Amino acid sequence: MLEATATAAERRRARRIRLKLRGRFLLPDGGEHPCETADVSSTGVSVAAPMIPNLGERIVVYLDELGRLEGVVVRRSPNIFALSLKSASNRTERLAHKLEALTGAAQQAGRAEAPAPGRRAAELSVEFGQTFHVEVGEEQDDGARIFAKFALLPGVRVALDGRPGLVVRATDDGFLVGFDRRGAG
């Protein structure tokens, strides 16, 4: 049972994760604005943006890593607003799993282990500002297979050891990256 003095964080239905993900949000009138998350949970998200919607407005947010989120503005300040997310329980579960994967990947970013035989260790930078230690296998001039304990969606821009590329496909144990032709030496 919650006490009357419980903090806002203690009253939340799900644990918030400090995570900066870029995206955009759509207003009910069709207006589209850039944004970046401040923190995310499976039931809510805090969003920093140059334009802040009104309380009670229904907003759709598209985040590069998490996809489409929909909710109602429940808090706002001059630079940030918070959404209470509205989704079916199976979507809420999927979002929780994606957040766990992102959190695990961020925690692993600082710890490099010896790569498996036939693979090499590499640093992968993601367009959202995160950097991860990954294993690379089957590397060619036009792309590479990345072995990781997290997933990235197709279309996400990355840099593998500084070489720009794009995630082209998810695999069971990571994803495939296609290198930008412009980035070739």
Mean pLDDT by 10-residue block, N- to C-terminus, for the chain (185 residues)? 35 64 87 88 87 93 83 91 77 68 52 65 86 86 88 88 91 89 55
* One domain, residues 98 and 129: no
pLDDT of residue 163: 92
pLDDT of residue 11: 43
pLDDT of residue 68: 86
Residue 110 within any structural domain of the chain:
no
* One domain, residues 72 and 44: yes
> Do 27 and 58 touch, CB atoms closer than 8 A?
no
pLDDT of residue 177: 94
- Count how many Cα atoms sit within 13 Å of the Cα of residue 76 in the half-sphere of its side chain: 13
Pairing relationship of beta strands 120-126 and 80-85 according to DSSP bridges: unpaired
Residue 58 within any structural domain of the chain:
yes
User: Which residue range(s) make up the domain with 30?
Assistant: 8-103
Domains: count for the chain: 2
* Domain of residue 174, CATH code: 2.40.10.430
Among 60, 76, 103, the domain boundary falls at 103
pLDDT of residue 4: 32
> Do 46 and 39 touch, CB atoms closer than 8 A?
yes
pLDDT of residue 3: 31
User: Phi and psi of 29, rounded to 5°?
Assistant: -80, 0
- CA distance between the termini of the chain: 62
Residue 47 within any structural domain of the chain:
yes
Tokens for 152? 């990235």
